[in-house]
Structure 1
Amino acid sequence: MARQRRSFTTEFKLEAARLVTQQGYSIVEASRSLGIGENALRRWVVQLTQEGAGITPRSKALTVEQQRIKELEARIDRLEREKTILKKATALLMAEQMQHTR
């Protein structure tokens, strides 16, 4: 029988990582007291440290600032795609108009 994978909220991950980074717990102590795996907590600590250094994470961001940055980056990507589509549509319309004027 397969074991079901547990999922944790972003807030839980952030608070768990802060136990290590700000309150001085070791990864082993914190993971045992929270009932989570050491490797998971280690990843969260590394991610929190990287976010604090301004590195945008690949996975879901832990800090509010990094969450906002990811939202804005997604919005920029969408707007750039829309701009590209509009440029192509304008070029097609201009080419069609040029053929009708000849």
Structure 2
Amino acid sequence: MASPSSHPVELRKRAVRMVVEVRGDHPNESAALKAVAQKLGIGSAETLRNWVKRDEIDFGRRPGTTTEESVQIKAMKKGIAELKRANDISNTTAKRSAELSPS
């Protein structure tokens, strides 16, 4: 997953709204993205394209993994890793106990 944006959330939301509003005023989406990025001082139209794509996914207008689902997946992966470590410790302890106990 990408690192957190250095741009404030409100700027990102505003930029996405602006792209949606001005799409019809430009020959294509790239031109709209470039115009809004320049107007708001966003370094790259590609950054803005990613924000628009993320917004479309989060609101179900485009297929993909939503931000909320990504957070849940990350938490589940962390939980699984913790369970694996606990299981490994338990297995190692049981093995050592078996090796040390007299037969």
Task: Trace 1:1-102 onto structure 2 (pairs within 5 A).
Answer: 7-21=6-20, 23-25=21-23, 26-36=32-42, 37-51=44-58, 52=60, 53-56=62-65, 66=67, 68-99=68-99, 100-102=101-103
Listed as ranges, the gaps of 5+ residues in structure 1 are 1-6, 57-64
- Poorly superposed stretches of 4+, deviation over 6 Å: none
Q: Taking every aligned residue pair, what percent have the same amino acid on both sides? A: 17
TM-score, normalised via structure 2 length: 0.61
Q: How far has the Cα of 1:86 moved from its partner? A: 1.2
Q: Against the structure 1 CA distance between its residues 97 and 12, is the aligned structure 2 distance closer, same or farther, given a 3 Å change threshold?
A: same
Q: Give the distance between the partners of 1:54 and 1:14, measured in 2 at CA.
A: 20
Q: Give the distance between the partners of 2:73 and 2:86, measured in 1 at CA.
A: 20
TM-score, normalised via structure 1 length: 0.62
Larger relative CO (CA 8 A, sep 6+): 1 or 2?
Answer: 1
| Residue matched to 1:60 | none
